[in-house]
Amino acid sequence: IYTGQTGWMQGAKHGFIFDSTLNDFISGEMEHAVWSCYQEEKPDIIFIEGQSSLRNPSGPAGSEWIVSAEAKSVVLQHSPIRKQYKDMEFYPAYLPSLKDEVSLIKMYGADTIAITINTAKMTTEEARNYAASYQQELNIPAILPLEDGLEALLPTFEKLIKESKK
């Protein structure tokens, strides 16, 4: 499910442009996109493009995604070295710990099944150290998608599909 201009420009079939949708209609658009995708494609799994964290003061879209789509699982993108929200450095809002964010996602009814590391302004070695630490702390895969690809998450997705068919 695309949620931005890029997905639309690339011709993705299901989704909507979040930035140009009035907030009153976000949940309905998400529900419609997921329902249409399910009805027309009959996929084993639906991926929804994320837009923002749950606590971002400039637009906490994540909660609408989880609730409106009835998402059961989340792959969380995280920048370990960022202390404040991007482009909000002037505002006194600091990023919570990763464990805290995973707990909040759980309160919305979804399990965090993997962490992807935003490696901007880090060496590969630093990023790998963070990934290893998060993987051990949270007991879920933590990967560097730009450096290593997403193949390491395939077993996680395959397990979700298998469990959903029981």
Q: For residue range 81-116, list pLDDT tens digits in order.
A: 988 888 777 888 888 899 999 999 999 999 999 999
Dump strand ranges (E) for the chain: 73-78, 111-117, 142-143
Instruction: Supply the pLDDT for residue 95.
Output: 86
Question: 159 and 81, same structural domain?
Answer: yes
Q: Say yes or no: 2 and 78 in one domain.
A: no
Residue 122 scores a pLDDT above 70: yes
Work out the pLDDT band at 132, boundaries 50, 70, 90. very high
CATH code for the domain in which residue 90 is found: 3.40.50.300
The string of pLDDT tens digits covering residues 16-67 is: 999 899 989 999 999 999 999 999 999 999 999 988 788 887 776 778 889 9
Higher-pLDDT residue of 147 and 50 is 147
Domain membership of residue 139 as a residue range: 59-164
Regarding whether 155 and 77 lie in a shared domain, the answer is yes
Q: What per-residue confidence (pLDDT) applies to 27?
A: 93
Verify that 44 and 109 share a domain, yes or no. Answer: no
Residue with tokens 């935003």: 118
In the predicted structure, residue 128 carries a pLDDT above the cut 90:
yes
What phi, psi does 118 have (nearest 5°)? -80, 110
CA distance 50 to 47: 9
Query: pLDDT value at position 31?
Result: 96
| Residues 41 and 72 placed together within one structural domain of the fold | no
Number of domains in the chain: 2
Residue 60: predicted pLDDT: 64
| Burial class for 164, CB neighbours closer than 10 Å (0-12, 13-18, 19+) | exposed
| Residues 34 and 79: beta-carbon distance below 8 Å | no
Is residue 54 a part of any domain in this protein?
no
Query: What H or E segment, with its residue span, contains residue 31?
Result: helix 26-41
Q: Are residues 81 and 42 in the same domain?
A: no
Question: Are 41 and 85 found together in one domain?
Answer: no
Q: Are residues 63 and 117 in the same domain?
A: yes
Domain co-membership, 34 together with 63: no
Residues 63, 39 share a domain: no
Last residue of a domain, which of 49, 70, 88? 49
Q: Are residues 94 and 147 in the same domain?
A: yes
